[in-house]
């Protein structure tokens, strides 16, 4: 296992629609393990493949925040949204590709997703609370969509300008 470099917004790779994964190979398994390790290290509750520069439809998540509860790492390959609730929920979201910026985003409160697991089998589950928000946020990444795309243009541009400045500073070292 190894840590992967997380791309920072703005980056053209974060704006692209990712390709479906044709089959669950050992390479995909290794990628998922690296992504989980990178996510836990960050720390974050979700990470999508394009965030580590892999343009394929896969994301990992673990929304267990309570230290007394066992971790629940999940790997979702080729996820699809099969149902969303009419009821919505607003959460303050952040993103490992947009560090230190947070904003409220309203999304369906509950969502059903179907996906291919690392076992090569089809899974389907309903998510709620933080899990629902995280799953939809990560799913968006696979279609080149970021949480700031839900904000008004002024707020979005302000965050993007601050991120451009941060990237310039980091590039200079």
Tell whether residue 103 is a contact of Ni ion (CB under 5 A).
no
- Residue 66 Cβ vs Ni ion, minimum distance, rounded to whole Å: 22
Does 14 bind Ni ion (CB under 5 A)? Our answer is no
Closest CB 29 distance from Ni ion, rounded Å: 22
Q: 17-51 b/e with 16+ CB inside 10 Å = b?
A: ebeebeebeeebeebbbbbbbbbbeeebbbbbbbb
Contact at 8 Å (CB) between 14 and 7? yes
When the beta carbons of 24 and 51 are compared against Ni ion, the nearer one is: 51
Which position among 33, 138, 164, 169 bears the catalytic label?
A: 138
Q: How far is the CB of 172 from Ni ion (least distance, A)?
A: 25
The nearer residue to Ni ion, 24 or 148, going by C-beta atoms, is: 148
Verify binding: residue 105, Ni ion, rule CB under 5 A: no
Can you tell me which residue has the tokens 């952040």? 94
Token pair of 115, please? 């996906």
CA distance 37 to 3: 6
Q: Phi first, then psi: what are they for 123, rounded to 5°?
A: -120, 150
Which of 32, 35, 54, 95 touches Ni ion by CB under 5 A?
95
Residue ranges in contact with Ni ion by CB under 5 A: 95
Active site residues: 138
């Amino acid at each position: 296992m190894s840590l992967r470099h997380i791309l920072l917004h703005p980056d053209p790779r974060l704006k692209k629609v990712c390709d479906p994964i044709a089959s669950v190979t050992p390479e995909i398994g290794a990628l998922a393990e690296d992504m989980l390790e990178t996510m836990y290290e960050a720390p974050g509750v979700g990470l999508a493949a394009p965030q580590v520069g892999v343009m394929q439809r896969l994301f990992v998540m673990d929304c267990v925040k309570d230290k007394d509860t066992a971790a629940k790492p999940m790997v979702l390959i080729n996820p699809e949204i099969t149902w969303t609730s009419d009821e919505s929920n607003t959460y303050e979201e952040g993103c490992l590709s947009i560090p230190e910026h947070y904003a409220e985003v309203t999304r369906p409160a509950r969502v059903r997703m179907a996906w291919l697991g690392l076992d090569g089998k089809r899974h389907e589950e309903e998510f709620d609370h933080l899990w629902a928000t995280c799953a939809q946020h990560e799913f968006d990444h696979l279609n080149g969509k970021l949480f700031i795309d839900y904000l008004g243009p002024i707020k979005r541009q302000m965050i993007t300008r601050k991120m451009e400045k941060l990237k310039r500073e980091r590039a200079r070292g």
